[in-house]
Structure 1
Amino acid sequence: MTKRASEECPRAVSRRSVLQSAAALLSVPFVAKATAAFAQEKLAGSGEVVVFSYGGSFTEGIRKQVYEPFTKATGISVVDVIADFSEPQVRAMSQAGRVDWDTAFIQAYNYPAMHEVGMFLPIDYSLWDEESLQGTPKTARHDDMVVGLQTATLLAYDQRSFPKDGPKNWADFWDVKTFPGPRGLDAPLGKRSILFALIADGLAHDDIWPLTDDKIDRALKKLDQIKPQVAKWWTAGGEPAQKLINREYAMASCYDGRAIAAIQQGGPVRIVWEGAYMNQNYWTVLKGGPNSKNAQKLIAFVNRAQIAAGFTQGTGYPGPNTNQLKYLPAELNPLVSINPQNATKYVLEDSSWLAAKRADGKTNADHVQERWLAWRTQ
């Protein structure tokens, strides 16, 4: 297996660094057995498939848990290309009429515009086994994409600070009398803290989106209350979990993978799924790619329950197939977002609304971020 490298500097926190560091800590020895059942005729083949990946431990994990078993089962080799984000390269290749990749992870925020101009092929669900179709919700299986992985920003706290009864929601995060101690919130993207503030102020999950100006006003007013308690506005993905361990935070917003990794390593970190902010990345088959049939087989393979469990352990983040819960370690099962007890508690980002253009030509995401940055500099 070879690797082609392509690096791009992200706008804020490096998504690749977030993913790979969490994966390095969370990865548990698990090699999905490539049995004869996985080598069905409809997945067998030859040649290669060129896939986009985030690099580092993320790619190391997915190679071990998915790509190597896939090659063993099907005879198709995997070539991975590395970058922080796939979208700039996918757009450039599509515009040039020369697509060198076969699959890519596309951030949900970027998907609508790329879908609109036809950059992706329909997913061939006829290659999926019944366990995959039953375990993967229809909301995660669209015509030309399937949810590949999901990442959340949630409330995490130091159990030593609250040994008996820790915070249970974002209202508790704002309750400094009952739950004293320094707080941590992220500086780069305001949409997450705005959502947390609205939930803390009593807005129902179903009423969060769209983030109209009156809701943003309400959120920023609520954030005024907690601002003095924020010991540091974190900028790097690894900061909140480490600062919780170092007792620099009593509680903080934190990436789920980072927090779960700390828990798996025996750290005194606990997580609260209520009101978590959820993002999704999509698996896509690129239109014009050189090995589209093999790409369809890879996506069918990775969404099989046992392989999906390997993907979760190898990368640190789960795909949508809930049947993988049968194959995850008992200690990890209750922590992940796809556990039914957690799946009803988070708020999924309205990526289509964020990507939509306003009358002034800016996206809603740009507008929300401008409001956030203006507030932060006050």
Structure 2
Amino acid sequence: MGNEHSSCTSLDLSRRSLLQSTAALLSLPFVANATTAWAQERLSGSGEVVVFSYGGTFTEGVRRYVYEPFTKATGITVVDVVADFPEPGVRAMFHAGKVEWDIATGIAAANYPAMHEAGMFVPIDYSLWDRESLEGSPPHTRLQDAVVAFSSALLLAYDQRAFPKGGPKNWVDFWDVKRFPGRRGLFAPEAKRNLPFALLADGVPHSDIWPLSDDKLDRAFKKLDEIKPYVAKWWNAGGEAPQLLINQEYALTSAYDGRAISAIKQGAPIKIVWDGAYLVHAYATILKGGPNTANAQMMIAFLNRAQIAAGYLQGTGYPGPNANQLKYLPSDVVEQVSVNPDNGSKAIVEDSAWLAAKRPDGKTNLERLQERWLAWRAG
């Protein structure tokens, strides 16, 4: 599988598989009134800003909780353009020398380095950010020419009905078919998410997962051999895993955090486990040569304000990096999401730079992992 395709599909963000908006949404008047009060001269202007989005419920949520408040606070109109993934459009416009978008949200972390090196993005003006945004967003989420827009995780989820006395707490437990019997599910398309789970199950510490050296790969595939007979179905689309838990076709499985949380909000008897979750970041970038760069800088600054970040999470199901948003979220949401340090600190953050690095044979590490994964799955 090619680098771009596997990177993009890892976020499960094609229009056909986007999250439904989470329940208990913040009220629009609350966000709009708050952001109007924040309107400062440096975030006011005119004209428009053109922003990439994914369409469907994702775009509906962003319009309601980000775009409309932004226009009310600044006077700048937001024009959204829709596609399955941003990277192909950004590359095509850059190489054609005609850039029609201002902001690309959702650049996969594994795709960012090459696009950065090619000079596709302009530096972020962090002087426009308020203190709450800067203090709440960790330094590693604020790059020179990109900022983490949202994060997505693959984590362990289980049917509480299957384990009334307490379910699995980590991937060691997932592999323990005697203590935790039942049908299992794992994600079919990608190597990069499943291999760390296998290493954790084999006793490798969180801090030693990356890089996935050849000896670690041998160890991971040997461990996967153990669980393979107990995988009832290898799932593909994001909605499959929670639905199969609800239908009791799985007792425990890997699942996307947003999908599982959405199901829990709707009353599903599902429990999620953050220990050993696989966390991926997607970036927001301002495109070099875009028509409204100054307005784009204002939008990026606005997007990362704590109350707007809280609205973004409520509207899309995906959290941005500003931990100060937790002050503006319902307590039941805070308990579930990765931006809560109690959860995020237990996750394995993808080493996208290592995955994108070229091997001596010219292939990326990600491509090598994927080749071996597909051969193992077929065996």
State TM-score, norm by structure 1. Answer: 0.95
* Distance in structure 1 (CA, Å) of the matches to 2:333 and 2:154: 18
* Distance in structure 2 (CA, Å) of the matches to 1:252 and 1:163: 17
Q: 1:327 maps to which residue?
A: 328
Specify the code of the residue in structure 2 equivalent to 1:15.
L
CA contact (8 A) 1:30 1:313 kept: no
CA contact (8 A) 1:158 1:250 kept: yes
Question: What is the percent sequence identity of the aligned residues?
Answer: 64
Specify the code of the residue in structure 2 equivalent to 1:268.
P
Measure how far apart 1:23 and its partner are. 3.3
Greater displacement, 206-215 / 119-128: 206-215
Q: In structure 1, list runs of 5 or more residues that go unmatched.
A: 1-7
Query: Secondary structure at the residue paired with 1:51?
Result: strand
Q: 1:45 maps to which residue?
A: 45
Query: Secondary structure at the residue paired with 1:243?
Result: helix
Specify the code of the residue in structure 1 equivalent to 2:259.
R
Alignment CA distance shift 1:184-1:17 (3 Å) = farther
Q: 2:65 maps to which residue?
A: 65
CA contact (8 A) 2:130 2:305 kept: yes
Alignment CA distance shift 1:87-1:12 (3 Å) = closer
Q: 1:33 maps to which residue?
A: 32
Specify the code of the residue in structure 2 equivalent to 1:104.
A
Query: Secondary structure at the residue paired with 1:331?
Result: helix
Specify the code of the residue in structure 2 equivalent to 1:33.
A
Greater displacement, 185-194 / 34-43: 34-43
Specify the code of the residue in structure 1 equivalent to 2:262.
A
Query: Secondary structure at the residue paired with 1:332?
Result: helix
Specify the code of the residue in structure 2 equivalent to 1:265.
Q
Q: Aligned to 2:20, which of 13, 16, 23?
A: 23
Q: 1:371 maps to which residue?
A: 372
Specify the code of the residue in structure 1 equivalent to 2:130.
D
Report the RMSD for the aligned CA atoms in angstroms. 1.6
Q: 2:220 maps to which residue?
A: 219
Measure how far apart 1:33 and its partner are. 2.5
Alignment CA distance shift 1:335-1:9 (3 Å) = closer
CA contact (8 A) 1:128 1:301 kept: yes
Q: Deviations over 1:210-230 (max 9, x none)?
A: 111111111110011000100
Q: In structure 2, list runs of 5 or more residues that go unmatched.
A: none
Specify the code of the residue in structure 1 equivalent to 2:352.
S
Listed as ranges, the matches of 1:1-378 within 5 Å are 15-17=13-15, 20=18, 22-26=19-23, 28-31=25-28, 32-35=31-34, 36-105=36-105, 106-378=107-379
Q: Deviations over 1:10-54 (max 9, x none)?
A: 98685224763x233446243212444321000000000000011
Query: Secondary structure at the residue paired with 1:66?
Result: helix
Alignment CA distance shift 1:25-1:39 (3 Å) = closer
CA contact (8 A) 1:151 1:278 kept: yes
CA contact (8 A) 1:186 1:234 kept: yes
Alignment CA distance shift 1:12-1:334 (3 Å) = closer
State TM-score, norm by structure 2. Answer: 0.95
Specify the code of the residue in structure 2 equivalent to 1:350.
D
Q: 1:4 maps to which residue?
A: none
* Distance in structure 1 (CA, Å) of the matches to 2:316 and 2:299: 16
